[in-house]
Structure 1
Amino acid sequence: MEYFQGEFHALALEGHPTYRVVRKVERRATYPLKIPEHARIGVLLHVDATGPDPDTDEIIGLAMLRFGYTEAGTVLGPLDVYAELRQPRKAIPKHVSRATGITPAAVKRRRIDKSEVGDFVQGADLIVCHDAIRARRICERYQPAFAHLSWACTRSQLPWGNEGVACSELPYVAYRQGFWFDEDPTDRLHALLQILEMPLPRSGRIAMTTLAEAATRETSQVWALGAPYEVREQLRDRGYSWHGGQDGRYRAWFREVDPARVEEELQFLDDLDVPDLAPLVTTIDATLRFSDRLF
């Protein structure tokens, strides 16, 4: 009865221009029908680690949700869930426990079975994460099965700024889409699933459709090899990021652009008039994007 009374008041507030109703996300039941043969399989993923460095920090929590979706981007629903904790070799920093809710006591004697993780992602058409730049690198290092799968990032590959969403952090995106969620990793994934099946605020395009198109589109990475320190501000203002070369790739500034804009980017670098600057262009797709690997 309390639920119906609350919903009655919520509906009344929704009709008033002064208020915005934000509902708690509900965990969806498993998709009850047989997945059509033409459907695709996605895996939503959230990983917690002892720190921000994917090269040295350890996984302490991994949550995944398999879901079905169509070629047109229609989300069919969740198929299976995996969530497990892992005790790291080193102590979990206190600030990490505060941020994630994962304490040393919670992970004591817990482990993540690599073979179970490999089985869970086997055959997935797309791994979807809200922080793929970090998550892919740490997941590939832990389980090689992630290496040759296609990845997509809901933070960087959905145009939140153009859609009027000023902050791309998942709790804020959820709030702008009308709901909130507990910081439990499984609830976080259900929130992400709900975001994917909703229209974007301004364009009205379904988020999953937009994300799938962005993931399958090849892009070009333009590397400004040999660019001196003196032009760093111009490169940064242009949208270039610094890569330190710690993973075997180039130690240089780079920018990812649409292939149609490569010539424009090369002209920009040429206009810097730096004798030692040697531009290099590489092609990248969903099987390499966000990864450390060169091929």
Structure 2
Amino acid sequence: MFQDASDLAAMAETLSQSTDYRVLRRLVPRPSSIPAPGQETRTGILLDTETTGLDHARDEIIELGMVKFDYSADGRIVSLRDTFSAFNEPSAPIPPEVTALTGITDDMVAGHKIEEAAVNAFVDGAVISIAHNAGFDRKFAERYWPVFEDMAWGCSATEVDWRNGAGFFHQAHRAVDDCHALLEILDFTLPATGAPALAVLLETARKTTTRIWAEQSPFELKDSLKNRGYRWNDGSDGRPKSWHIDVCETALDDELTFLRTEIYLRNVEPRLQTLTAFSRFSCRV
């Protein structure tokens, strides 16, 4: 028997109250709007890139999607200002596996170029860029458009604890569609904190962290470093060929003690880098 939207919503709500079911709701893009007169807000950008590969130094952007939005001081999304979606023709054919993943073909991008002036105009007035994998998207964005070098960045994948988080699904894989989906996810109130995900992300992004480089650490102890959360950098990007980890200020002393007592077995002073939202996720650090 046919059931209207209100019937389906009631059924979903009933199921969600049971511990035996999880209900997923389709993410629906919201219409554009502007903040109410006199409402204090800041402006952010949600950004997603589709590329020919994973190497930010050699691979190329084939699509850029952005959503410009306003948010309140308590991290609640107030309005969707505008959207940006554009193709970029790479210097070589798009690999078949990329087309299979994104649906973007050589014919779709032929003759297209993303103009820097258009990107600059869209980004103007925003105080932060957010991507779901900022460690990937920021590196590509900075290479193409220097305006992103001086912006604060946040990462919705690493700076929000999504355990028991939003029960939504999203099937599209076009850049601007992913941005619309991310906007709705960031508006979700996290059960653990009672705050919207965006507020949690912003609070995390504002914190200073320290990157510790465990240079010349003993090879036989690599598993100890990996198990503790250290990541390997092969040195091909000009940064040290070394294991490294990012820690908050309160955890710095404990991490240095770990390196001195369990890795180097002596008093060492490893290379430290201070990171903020303006430098975090950039290939320049």
Alpha-carbon contact 2:212-2:244 (below 8 Å) kept: yes
- Name the structure 1 match of 2:271: 280
- Name the structure 1 match of 2:130: 128
- Name the structure 1 match of 2:164: 164
TM-score by length of 1: 0.88
Q: Kindly provide the CA deviation profile for residues 231-264 of structure 1, in whole angstroms up to 9, marking residues without a partner as x.
A: 1111101110112223322221111001111111
- Name the structure 2 match of 1:220: 210
Residues 72 and 155 of structure 1: CA distance in aligned 2, closer, same or farther (over 3 Å): same
Alpha-carbon contact 1:219-1:284 (below 8 Å) kept: yes
Residues 212 and 35 of structure 1: CA distance in aligned 2, closer, same or farther (over 3 Å): farther
- Name the structure 1 match of 2:10: 11
Gaps of 5+ in 1: 166-175
Q: Tell me if 1:251 matches 2:259.
A: no
Alpha-carbon contact 1:42-1:66 (below 8 Å) kept: yes
Query: Hey, what's the Cα distance between the residues in 2 that align with 1:135 and 1:23?
Result: 27
Query: Hey, what's the Cα distance between the residues in 2 that align with 1:243 and 1:276?
Result: 23
Query: Hey, what's the Cα distance between the residues in 1 that align with 2:177 and 2:254?
Result: 43
Q: Tell me if 1:193 matches 2:195.
A: no
Alpha-carbon contact 2:35-2:78 (below 8 Å) kept: no
Sequence identity percentage: 33
Alpha-carbon contact 1:63-1:81 (below 8 Å) kept: yes
Aligned length: 280
- Aligned residue for 1:55, secondary structure, equals coil
Query: Hey, what's the Cα distance between the residues in 2 that align with 1:148 and 1:9?
Result: 46
TM-score by length of 2: 0.91
Gaps of 5+ in 2: none
Query: Hey, what's the Cα distance between the residues in 1 that align with 2:214 and 2:244?
Result: 6
Matches within 5 A, 1:26-175: 26-34=28-36, 36=38, 38-160=40-162, 163-164=163-164
- Aligned residue for 2:188, secondary structure, equals coil
Query: Hey, what's the Cα distance between the residues in 1 that align with 2:228 and 2:40?
Result: 41
The one-letter amino acid of 1:122's match is D
Query: Hey, what's the Cα distance between the residues in 1 that align with 2:174 and 2:195?
Result: 28
Q: Kindly provide the CA deviation profile for residues 189-208 of structure 1, in whole angstroms up to 9, marking residues without a partner as x.
A: 11111111111143332101
Moved more, 80-89 or 201-210: 201-210
Query: Hey, what's the Cα distance between the residues in 2 that align with 1:35 and 1:54?
Result: 42
The one-letter amino acid of 2:204's match is A
Query: Hey, what's the Cα distance between the residues in 2 that align with 1:228 and 1:249?
Result: 19
Cα deviation for residue 56 of structure 1 reads 0.7
Alpha-carbon contact 1:223-1:281 (below 8 Å) kept: yes
The one-letter amino acid of 1:145's match is V
Alpha-carbon contact 1:54-1:138 (below 8 Å) kept: yes
Query: Hey, what's the Cα distance between the residues in 2 that align with 1:23 and 1:235?
Result: 40
- Name the structure 2 match of 1:268: 258
- Name the structure 1 match of 2:227: 237
- Aligned residue for 1:282, secondary structure, equals strand
Q: Kindly provide the CA deviation profile for residues 6-58 of structure 1, in whole angstroms up to 9, marking residues without a partner as x.
A: 43133224314365443322221112445657411100001000001111100
Alpha-carbon contact 2:65-2:176 (below 8 Å) kept: yes
- Name the structure 1 match of 2:280: 289
Q: Kindly provide the CA deviation profile for residues 123-167 of structure 1, in whole angstroms up to 9, marking residues without a partner as x.
A: 31110000100110111011111111000000011112xx336xx
The one-letter amino acid of 2:10's match is L
The one-letter amino acid of 1:243's match is N
Alpha-carbon contact 1:87-1:111 (below 8 Å) kept: yes
Alpha-carbon contact 1:31-1:78 (below 8 Å) kept: yes
Query: Hey, what's the Cα distance between the residues in 1 that align with 2:38 and 2:68?
Result: 15
Moved more, 59-68 or 31-40: 31-40
Alpha-carbon contact 2:209-2:246 (below 8 Å) kept: yes
